[in-house]
Amino acid sequence: MGNIDKESNPYYLYGMHPVTDAVRQGRKFEKILFKKGLEGEQFRSLLEEVSQRGIPCQFVPIEKMNHMVKGSHQGVVGYLAQIDYVPFEEMVEAALSRKANPIFLVLDGVSDVRNLGAIARSAECAGIDGIVVPAKGSAAINAEAVKASAGALLRIPTARVANLKIALYYFRDSDFQIVAASEKAEDDMYAVNFRKASAIVMGSEGKGISEPVLSLCTVGARIPMAGETGSLNVSVAAALLLFEAVRQRM
């Protein structure tokens, strides 16, 4: 009881004991779902470990779990991570040890897995040094995202952080410019010096970059638009900015 459910989805692990054992063994999870109203000592112990390890969790109706899993889930379903996340600071320091001016991509609330995959594909093709995603409010890096990235998510370093603001403060302390990709920016992307160490921030599909994150950006980059459409798809916008950086560095 509580194995990976290969009939419904090979990337779910379910059952109180199997999920608890996997967490304690250091298996990587995208997130763990708990049934609303779940109680008991085992649940409280697992929830504490999940919190300590920084694994995102969510409380959902039992009907959702019953739809996902055909076996006895006992109110616990875990999404197994498809990639090995890299510790954020370790990723940045490793890049700085290889080159003077790395470029990272920071995704603030990109929620569509296909957009995430397409962005990662462009980032890997452009030679970007890594991607930073928030633990909550971001698309899961699942099998669909890996497929959309043409496998790039398996090759490019990716860090998942509890708080994007803390990550941006770290970039600023490391002398990175924080570039906000926004149609409201005063300067277009050709005016930005991408030869500097840079962290390029892309916002969510609907709302763009959140205000708390935008307040920490030091440079704005606007993609020139000639048509009547107000904005580009976020994956297309990311590709344009990244390859402008490549052009400047050639």
Residues 119-138 have pLDDT tens digits of 999 999 999 999 999 988 88
Residue 2 predicted with pLDDT over 70: no
Look at residues 80, 104, 124 and tell me which one is the last residue of a structural domain: 80
Domain extent, residue 181, equals 88-249
- CATH number for the domain that contains residue 226: 3.40.1280.10
* List of E strands, 63-218: 76-80, 103-108, 130-134, 158-161, 177-181, 198-203
Residue 178 predicted with pLDDT over 90: yes
Q: Is residue 230 part of a domain?
A: yes
Q: Is residue 47 domain-shared with residue 131, that is, in the same domain?
A: no
Q: Is residue 96 domain-shared with residue 73, that is, in the same domain?
A: no
Q: Report yes or no: 55 and 31 within 8 Å, Cβ to Cβ.
A: yes
At residue 7, the pLDDT reads: 37
Q: Report yes or no: 203 and 234 within 8 Å, Cβ to Cβ.
A: yes
Q: Report yes or no: 154 and 74 within 8 Å, Cβ to Cβ.
A: no
Q: Is residue 119 domain-shared with residue 29, that is, in the same domain?
A: no
Q: Is residue 138 domain-shared with residue 116, that is, in the same domain?
A: yes
* Number of domains forming the structure of the chain: 2
Region for residue 96 given its phi and psi (left: phi exceeds 0; alpha: psi -120 to 50; beta: otherwise): alpha
At residue 228, the pLDDT reads: 73
Residue 4: what are its φ and ψ, rounded to 5°?
A: -70, 135
At residue 211, the pLDDT reads: 94
Q: How far is residue 76's CA from residue 18's CA, in Å, rounded to a whole number? A: 9
Tens-place pLDDT, residues 26-81: 888 888 999 999 999 999 999 999 998 888 889 999 998 998 888 889 999 998 88
- Looking at the DSSP assignment, which residues form a beta bridge with residue 180? 201, 220
Q: Where do we find the tokens 């004991």?
A: 17
Residue 226 predicted with pLDDT over 90: no
The chain-wide mean pLDDT, for the chain, equals: 90
Residue 154: what are its φ and ψ, rounded to 5°?
A: -85, -10
Residue 239 predicted with pLDDT over 90: yes
Q: Is residue 6 part of a domain?
A: no
